């Protein structure tokens, strides 16, 4: 995608920048490549810094906000002459905990993530427009997502929430929640399930929150299940069985189990990387 922004810091006749991504698709822990294309205006300009930053919308108690969570410096301390064209390549490595925007062959409703270009000249900053970036699951994350669907859960919504998960080591100041509607067989034990991935160079921590809403005759209750996958062991286990075992261990005694394949199979559009 290409977005062009005339820099407000200089008004009419100022320089312009457009950012071109080599590919809009990316993966947690992977590299995103692109080119910042600068075009000089009607006069020479001393560029102090050129940077790109990853941004996503984060929910908090005081309202939603577009938050930059990772930045890469592209260039600094050079002059862009009047009418000059400069193409400056860059790369930015996504944090392992970067939220997913796509899964099951489609965009996750509720998710948005992009790359913003920032140019600084004489202390004036222009944040420019945002290039949309699609972040797709790592193989370990795909294995869990496929397992959850095999167990009969249906994706509903996803969002990013400010804060930290108790007992989990996080690098970013937020975490993603991917919400699912449970199969009817366990509807009495949970109303929804929320999945959070916390990835790192060795593997992926999987946190499942099983929510039971309050009612006239019972109070609200949340139960938690956790498991961890190594990036190297993705193909070595039946992850539907592993996920089912983790969920079963968190449910109340006597709750019905989750039959694997839950009456359906993962859709054909779900393609591992």
Q: Is the pLDDT reported for residue 257 higher than 90?
A: no
Q: How confident is the model at residue 130 (pLDDT cuts 50, 70, 90)?
A: confident
Residues in the chain: 273
Residues 180 and 221 in one domain: yes
Residues 106 and 148 in one domain: no
Structure tokens at 35: 């080119």
Residues 100 and 115 in one domain: yes
Residue 27 sits in a domain whose CATH number is: 2.60.40.10
What is the pLDDT averaged over residues 227-249? 92
For residue 77, is it within any domain? yes
Going from the C-alpha of 225 to that of each of 65, 211, 238, 245, 246, the distances in angstroms are: 29, 11, 17, 9, 6
Residues 99 and 221 in one domain: no
Highest mean pLDDT: which of 23-27, 116-120, 191-195, 234-238?
Answer: 191-195
Task: Say what the pTM is.
Answer: 0.85
For residue 261, is it within any domain? no
pLDDT at position 269: 32
pLDDT digits (tens, 9 = 90+) for 36-74: 999 888 888 888 999 999 999 999 888 889 999 999 999
Residues 11 and 114 in one domain: yes
Q: How confident is the model at residue 227 (pLDDT cuts 50, 70, 90)?
A: very high
Residues 112 and 158 in one domain: no
SS3 250: helix
DSSP E strand stretches across 11-139:
16-21, 25-26, 31-39, 45-58, 65-80, 85-93, 102-103, 106-107, 113-121, 124-126, 130-132, 134-135
Number of folded domains in the chain?
A: 2
Residues 49 and 131 in one domain: yes
Q: Is the pLDDT reported for residue 271 higher than 90?
A: no
Residues 198 and 246 in one domain: yes
Smallest CA-to-CA distance from 152 within 270, 238, 239, 261 is with: 261
pLDDT at position 189: 84
Q: Of the candidates 115, 135, 155, which is a domain's last residue?
A: 135
Alpha-carbon Rg of the chain, whole angstroms?
Answer: 22
Q: What is the DSSP string of 187-200?
A: TTT-SEEEEEEEE-
Residues 23 and 107 in one domain: yes
Smallest CA-to-CA distance from 36 within 79, 85, 82 is with: 85
Contacts of 207 (CB under 8 A, 6+ apart): 165, 168, 195, 196, 197, 198, 224, 225, 226
pLDDT digits (tens, 9 = 90+) for 138-173: 999 999 999 999 999 999 999 999 999 988 999 999
Residues 69 and 129 in one domain: yes
Q: Is the pLDDT reported for residue 238 higher than 80?
A: yes
For residue 270, is it within any domain? no
* Domain extent for 122: 2-135
For residue 69, is it within any domain? yes
């Amino acid at each position: 995608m290409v977005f062009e922004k005339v820099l407000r810091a200089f008004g009419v006749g100022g320089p312009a920048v457009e950012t071109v991504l080599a590919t809009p698709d990316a993966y947690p822990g992977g590299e995103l490549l692109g080119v910042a294309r600068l075009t000089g205006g009607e006069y020479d300009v001393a560029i102090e810094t050129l940077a790109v930053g990853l941004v996503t919308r984060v929910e908090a108690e005081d309202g939603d906000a577009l938050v930059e969570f990772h930045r890469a410096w592209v260039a600094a301390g050079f002059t862009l002459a009047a009418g000059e064209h400069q193409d400056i390549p860059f790369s930015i490595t996504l944090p392992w905990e970067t939220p997913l925007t796509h899964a099951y062959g489609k965009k996750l409703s509720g998710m948005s993530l992009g790359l913003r270009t920032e140019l600084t000249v004489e202390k004036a900053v222009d944040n420019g427009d945002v290039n949309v970036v699609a972040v797709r699951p790592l193989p370990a994350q795909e294995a869990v997502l496929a397992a959850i669907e095999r167990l009969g859960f249906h994706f509903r919504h996803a969002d990013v929430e400010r804060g930290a998960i108790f007992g989990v080591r996080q690098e970013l100041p937020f975490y993603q929640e991917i919400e699912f509607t449970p199969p009817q067989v366990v509807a009495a034990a949970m109303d929804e399930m929320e999945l959070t991935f916390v990835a790192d160079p060795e593997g992926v921590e999987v946190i499942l929150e099983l929510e039971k809403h309050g009612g006239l005759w019972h109070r609200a209750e949340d139960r938690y299940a956790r498991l961890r996958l190594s990036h190297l062991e993705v193909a070595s286990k039946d992850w539907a069985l592993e996920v089912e075992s983790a969920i079963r261990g968190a449910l109340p005694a006597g709750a019905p189990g989750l039959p694997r394949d839950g009456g359906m199979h993962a859709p054909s559009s779900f393609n591992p990387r």
